Amino acid sequence: MSVVVHVDLDAFYASVAQRDDPTLSGKPVAVSHSGRRSVVLTASYEARPYGVRSAMPLYQALERCPELIVVPPNFAAYKAASAAVFALVREVAHAVERLSLDEAFLDLGDVTIDEATQTARELKERVRAQTGLTLSAGVASGKMVAKIASDDGKPDGLLVVALGSEAAYLAEKPVARLWGVGPKTERRLRELGIERVGQVGALSDGRAVELFGRGGPAFRDLALGIDARPVVEDDEVRSISSEETFEYDERSVPALLQTVRSQAQELEERLRKRELRAFTVGVKIKLADFSVLGRQTTLAQPTDRAAVIYGAAAHCLRRAALNGRAVRLIGTRVASLVERPAEQIALF
């Protein structure tokens, strides 16, 4: 049986801020933009006993913790810290499946669970010594259990789920901890009296299909900790996007188009920096009631030109037929990316 390690930097943005400014050490910190509609990107562990959490509106966080210190995000510092951490990770892992700047699955090769645990322990120590950041790790036979274990061990934890004990480890956890169970599915399962992961694991094949469709038995097996998905090394850029949340709801299509134009220019810069072109252009529109609309179109030829991206995105925006509805956020996205061909040099 294989062994998977999941690693996750603790309160990453806030930890980088505390590391770089020692006066913030031990204090409740939230990383957030300023503005009426700003949300908390990350809260330090000192802020969490007050109920401050990621994605919480900043004004609510300040109400819950008046002593909260709010610092602006510094993405250049986060990228540098992430690069330093994952340089250490790659020294010990055969494959690294990055999930974000601060999180990944590791395949350590043909090792026992004890050897994987020792490697994870040593990696944690090296990350702390060389970057000043703490890393939580979960070790298990599969991805989902390793991820849940690292979450359970936070902060600065190392939790190992022994081979063969996966089902028992998961059994009493809330069903929402199971991968693929979102709020709607959780509500539906609770209405049926299914509140724990172990209850999903106890389903028959027929009942699993009835509740979850054709993939029901595989979903049931996941609740038992049976998860054979490999760690996949994947550094490919799949899409690039730019979004903006408005200070106040926006109803004017010309104003929305102006924002889209700016986003198209940003996407041109980012595509050219990576030497990529895009076949697909789309827009994401979040309305004032938090519902989300999406429209996209496919180009005849891939592009990295802002004018073409803007034209396609504007077409998508008009197709959304907003009819004066209030917009909270708009984003432009390019996908189906291909490498830009080398420029032809004319000889005559």
User: What string of pLDDT tens digits covers the 348 residues of the chain?
Assistant: 689 999 999 999 999 999 999 999 999 999 998 877 788 999 999 999 999 999 899 999 999 999 999 999 999 999 999 999 999 998 989 889 988 889 999 999 888 999 999 999 999 999 999 999 999 999 999 999 999 999 999 999 999 999 999 999 999 999 999 988 888 889 999 999 999 999 999 999 999 999 988 889 999 999 999 999 999 876 556 778 888 888 889 999 999 999 999 999 999 998 998 888 999 999 999 888 878 888 999 998 999 999 999 999 999 999 999 999 999 999 999 988 888 764 433 332
For Cα atoms 40, 41, 45, give the angle at the middle one, nearest 5 degrees: 80
Q: Which two tokens stand for residue 152?
A: 């359970």
Q: Which CATH superfamily is domain 4-9+76-163 in?
A: Reverse transcriptase/Diguanylate cyclase domain (3.30.70.270)
- Which pLDDT score, from 0 to 100, does residue 346 have? 35
Domain-wise residue ranges, the chain: 4-9+76-163, 13-74, 167-223, 239-339
- Determine the length of the chain: 348
- Which pLDDT score, from 0 to 100, does residue 1 have? 60
- Which pLDDT score, from 0 to 100, does residue 237 have? 62
CATH of domain 167-223: 1.10.150.20
Q: What is the spatial distance between Cα 158 and Cα 146, in angstroms, rounded to a whole number?
A: 10
Catalytic residue among 103, 195, 243, 244: 103
> Judging by DSSP bridges, how do beta strands 29-31 and 69-71 pair with one another?
parallel
Q: What is the spatial distance between Cα 225 and Cα 167, in angstroms, rounded to a whole number?
A: 5
Q: What is the pTM of this model?
A: 0.71
Is the CATH number of domain 239-339 3.30.1490.100?
yes
- Which pLDDT score, from 0 to 100, does residue 234 have? 63
Number of C-alpha atoms within 13 angstroms, CB side, residue 276? 20
- Which pLDDT score, from 0 to 100, does residue 182 have? 83
Give the sign of the dihedral formed by CA 306, CA 311, CA 312, CA 314. Answer: positive
233 is catalytic: no
Is the CATH number of domain 13-74 1.20.1560.10?
no
